[in-house]
Amino acid sequence: MIKVTIYKTDRHEYAGFDISGHAEYSESGSDIVCAAVSAIVINTINSIDQFTDDKTSSVSDEESGEIEFRFGQIPSHDASLLLDSMVLGLEQIEDSNEYEPYIDIIFKEV
């Protein structure tokens, strides 16, 4: 199962997120749940890097499926909007009856 933890402050500002695990929906190389989650998350990280001036840090391990992403400060409006879009995409996967058993999204206040 892919576990997604979204970190927000008490003011509902994004602080970052963690992703871990593999969906195990199908064999490696043909797992559409892992592919969808990876595409959404990696595109979000790349978009924040390319289109905003936000200071961020990220660490990833492809083999374990782990990604740790953090903002160095309160994220800009654009970075927050990109994360809203990422969360929307991930929640749509989680809300699907077919894919729900393979992804779990939680929100934590930091």
Q: pLDDT (tens digit, 9 = 90+) per residue, 2-44? A: 999 999 999 999 999 999 999 999 998 899 999 999 999 999 9
* pLDDT of 110 higher than 90: yes
How far is Cα 11 from Cα 9, in angstroms, rounded to an integer? 5
Other C-beta atoms lying within 10 Å of the C-beta of residue 48: 23
Taking the whole predicted model, whether its pTM rises above 0.75 is answered as: yes
What CATH number does the domain located at 2-109 have?
3.30.70.1490
Asked if 105 contacts 1 with a C-beta cutoff of 8 angstroms, the reply is: no
Per-position b or e across 15-34, b if 16+ CB within 10 A of its CB: bbbbbebbbebeeeeebebb
* pLDDT of 91 higher than 90: yes
